[in-house]
Amino acid sequence: MIFPVVLLSVTFLGLFSASQGSDESCYLSEEQEDDCAAVCYPIVKPLLRYFEKINEKDSQILQLQKDNSELHKKFADSQQKDLEKYAHISKLETAYLELQKRHWDVQDKFQQLQSRIQDVESLKAQIKLLEEQIRALNKTSELAVVKNGEMLANQLREEIEKLRSLGRSGERSNPEATAQAKGPSLPDHCPGSQEEEKVIQKIQIGGADPFKVVCYSDKKRGSGWIIVYNKVPGSNKFNRPFEEYVSGFGDVGTADEDEFFIGLQRLHLLTNGEPYEVHLEYIYSTSRDTRRCDNFVIGNRRKGFMVESIGKCTGFQSYALKPGIKFSTFDRDEDGFSPVNIAKLRGFGWWHTRDNYAFGFPVKKMMIRRKA
């Protein structure tokens, strides 16, 4: 910044000296110096201000670079802390899964112990019954009574068979009266409209005895829905063996806390007789997420009650039904994931896949509806 000022001063002095003639002295008088300053300062002043502003900008740039470096350092520290937190969370999740696995191992051993205790109690009861029978056989009078009782029982059986024969002949001679005596036929699905949100209705389908179902209706989903599966969050009532899932279990009711499953065999008969759609609602989902598929078909027992079809689906992906997946329970592992039995780990039977192993919101409610 000083060099331009000196250059201008020298130039001005050179010009001023030239104007005074070559025979003049090279030194300036005070008056001449004042005249020079009066001429140079207005010219140099803007340049001085300009260089001063440049210095200020340079200082600001250096400060911004320093602030930027500090921010980068803070961001890097924050990322490192986040990575440490994620690593800690991953360790906790692994520890939680291991604890769950140990819990189910302990529960499995406890169930085995209970089963053995029941076997012992059953043997005790059989021994007691045999002892009573031995004491009874030692009494001849009681033996005579038994013989007479057998004769009376045989006579009663003959009379009952005669009455049955008469009843069958009467049905053949008057089928209309027989049909009226049996009462009105039961429906095989829920009604297409209903006033209440939930009602209990008895239905009958081919291949099964009549059974009760909960028929569901609301403005958003419409009517005709059968609630086939209802589970309360945190409940262990669905940790059951495969055979109980086949036949169904629980108390069929309209309250949200009523837990039940109509059974795999009935579900197979329903979805194979007519086209059905399926609707799933999930546990712990704060946004009431659901999933709906338009062609739901369950295979028979020989096929492991496999999901044979789901059609087109929309909605939440957790615990989604997938074609080709068989039903799994803690005593029947069909999930295709060799490291662990997911049904035992999770504590309930389902069409489990390896996607359900580490995460996912379990299903709270499953409903099906016959398609029009």
Give me the residue label for tokens 């008969």: 269
Q: Return the pLDDT at 99.
A: 85
Domain range enclosing 156: 140-182
Question: What number of other Cβ atoms are within 10 A of residue 252's Cβ?
Answer: 17
Q: Return the pLDDT at 148.
A: 59
Q: Return the pLDDT at 184.
A: 62
Please name the residues in contact with 104: beta carbons below 8 A apart, sequence gap of 6 or more.
Answer: 330, 344, 345, 347
Of 182, 212, 243, the position where a domain reaches its end is: 182
Give me the residue label for tokens 């949200």: 256
Question: What number of other Cβ atoms are within 10 A of residue 111's Cβ?
Answer: 14
Report yes or no on 130 lying in a domain.
no
pLDDT class for 189, splitting at 50, 70, 90?
Answer: very high
Residue 255 to residue 327: CA distance in whole angstroms: 27
314, 214: one domain: yes
Select the highest-mean-pLDDT range: 24-28, 85-89, 281-285, 291-295. Answer: 291-295
Please name the residues in contact with 85: beta carbons below 8 A apart, sequence gap of 6 or more.
Answer: none
Select the highest-mean-pLDDT range: 112-121, 213-222, 311-320. Answer: 213-222
pLDDT class for 351, splitting at 50, 70, 90?
Answer: very high
Number of domains in the chain: 3
Of 56, 77, 98, the position where a domain reaches its end is: 77
The dihedral over CA atoms of 231, 235, 241, 244, expressed in degrees to the nearest 10, equals: -40
Q: Return the pLDDT at 298.
A: 97
Beta bridge partners of 261: 229, 249
pLDDT digits (tens, 9 = 90+) for 118-169: 778 777 777 877 777 777 766 665 555 445 555 665 566 556 655 655 554 5
pLDDT digits (tens, 9 = 90+) for 262-304: 999 999 999 998 999 999 988 765 556 788 999 999 999 999 9
Cβ contact 325:307 at 8 Å: yes
Question: Which has more pLDDT, 364 or 170?
Answer: 364
Of 77, 101, 128, the position where a domain reaches its end is: 77
